[in-house]
Amino acid sequence: MKERILVTGGTGYIGSHTVVELQNSGYEVVIVDNLSNSRADVVDHIEQITGIRPAFEHVDCLDYEGMDAVFKKYPGIKGVIHFAASKAVGESVQKPLLYYRNNLVSLINLLELMPKHNVGGIIFSSSCTVYGQPDVLPVTEAAPIKKAESPYGNTKQVNEEIVRDTVASGAPINAILLRYFNPIGAHPSALIGELPNGVPQNLVPYVTQTAMGIREKLSVFGDDYDTPDGSCIRDYIYVVDLAKAHVIAMKRILEGKQKDKVEVFNLGTGRGLSVLELVHSFEEATGVKLNYQIVGRRAGDIVKVWADPTYANQELGWKADTPILDVLRSAWNWQVHLRETGVQ
């Protein structure tokens, strides 16, 4: 019997790649998504890639009764991977209550429903945003949590605490909090990838849309930072590498291998790349020349952050090692696929 895993936000960017890896590793997947930031045809594409159609439930995680019904309809769910959330940092400043409600209540519903349905494990999508601008680089899991710069960032911090407090209260739940650095790229099939809503706020979708001619030019936000070339530095991690870490983490929970009932892992490559280095790597990977200009700094940007992924490397036996040129080529192939299929 295959073990059954519930994936919330499973038609989204990271969720869809994780569903593929779960199915490839022999798990049975039930996706719950309200399609607020993804499309239903992602399920078809997952089936095309893996040959297996995951169960899909068009349900909102805010709907307690609806979620209860999902657990009843699919008995024996062993674990939950909780991706569903609103994630646009700028929008969260404009609509804080929407972000607090969606991101907090979705998690609370799950944590209430899991014991009721004998589901003992949860993986929560957290973010390197909890570290703010770290004092020491690379940043380890022991680094202090900094006051959040946005309601979105705050939802990640509060949700981490909600998980910890719930487990500490004696709830029969084991949890892994995964702090992602900057996920980029798309599945090698180019059948699934990131689908930004409107004008992309994140660097790589903006780069690929500019290369495609959808955007006139990329604005590089600042070249006067205290970094070697003056542009900001991030740890860009391939989404397929990231997805694989979830499969390993879920196996760890299900096999009872955790050292603690709540564990935290940084998921990054351990390498920092500047915005300008990324732009030039994209040009090298694809042969496409990018129209870009240096403009002023973007308010609230972290200057530099990259992971120390040693703990995840050692404990999970996992490493994000896909070469950046391959990753950027995958992002470009996805953009080409979107053009060919008339999506963008």
* 38-to-32, 33, 129 alpha-carbon distances in Å: 12, 8, 23
- Which amino acid does the sequence have at 330? S
Q: Say if residues 273 and 106 touch (Cβ distance below 8 Å).
A: no
Question: Judged by CB, which is closer to ligand NAD: 12, or 216?
Answer: 12
Among 54, 79, 151, 183, binds ligand NAD (CB under 6 A): 183
Long-range pairs for 35-38: beta carbons < 8 A, 24 or more residues apart: 35/11, 36/86, 37/12, 37/86, 37/87, 37/195, 37/197, 38/9, 38/11, 38/12, 38/13, 38/195
Among 27, 56, 74, 83, binds ligand NAD (CB under 6 A): 83
For residue 339, the minimal CB distance to ligand NAD (Å) is: 20
For residue 169, the minimal CB distance to ligand WQD (Å) is: 27
Q: Say if residues 235 and 304 touch (Cβ distance below 8 Å).
A: no
Q: Residue 131 gets which letter from DSSP?
A: G
Q: Using DSSP, state whether 123 is helix, strand or coil.
A: strand
Q: Rounded distance, CA 131 to CA 144, Å?
A: 7
* 119-to-51, 111, 145, 174 alpha-carbon distances in Å: 27, 9, 29, 10
Question: Judged by CB, which is closer to ligand WQD: 220, or 242?
Answer: 220
For residue 245, the minimal CB distance to ligand NAD (Å) is: 12
Assess 35 for contact with ligand NAD (CB under 6 A): yes
Answer yes or no: 238 catalytic: no
Q: Using DSSP, state whether 265 is helix, strand or coil.
A: strand
Bridge partners for 265 per DSSP: 178
Assess 221 for contact with ligand WQD (CB under 6 A): yes
- Compose the 237-276 pattern: x for residues touching ligand WQD by CB under 6 A, - for all others: --------------------------------------x-
For residue 288, the minimal CB distance to ligand WQD (Å) is: 17
Question: Judged by CB, which is closer to ligand WQD: 113, or 203?
Answer: 203
- Compose the 145-184 pattern: x for residues touching ligand WQD by CB under 6 A, - for all others: --------x----------------------------x--
Among 298, 325, 339, 343, binds ligand WQD (CB under 6 A): 298
> Where does this chain bind ligand NAD (CB under 6 A)?
8-9, 11-15, 32-38, 60-62, 83-87, 102, 106, 125, 127, 180, 182-183
Catalytic residue IDs: 152
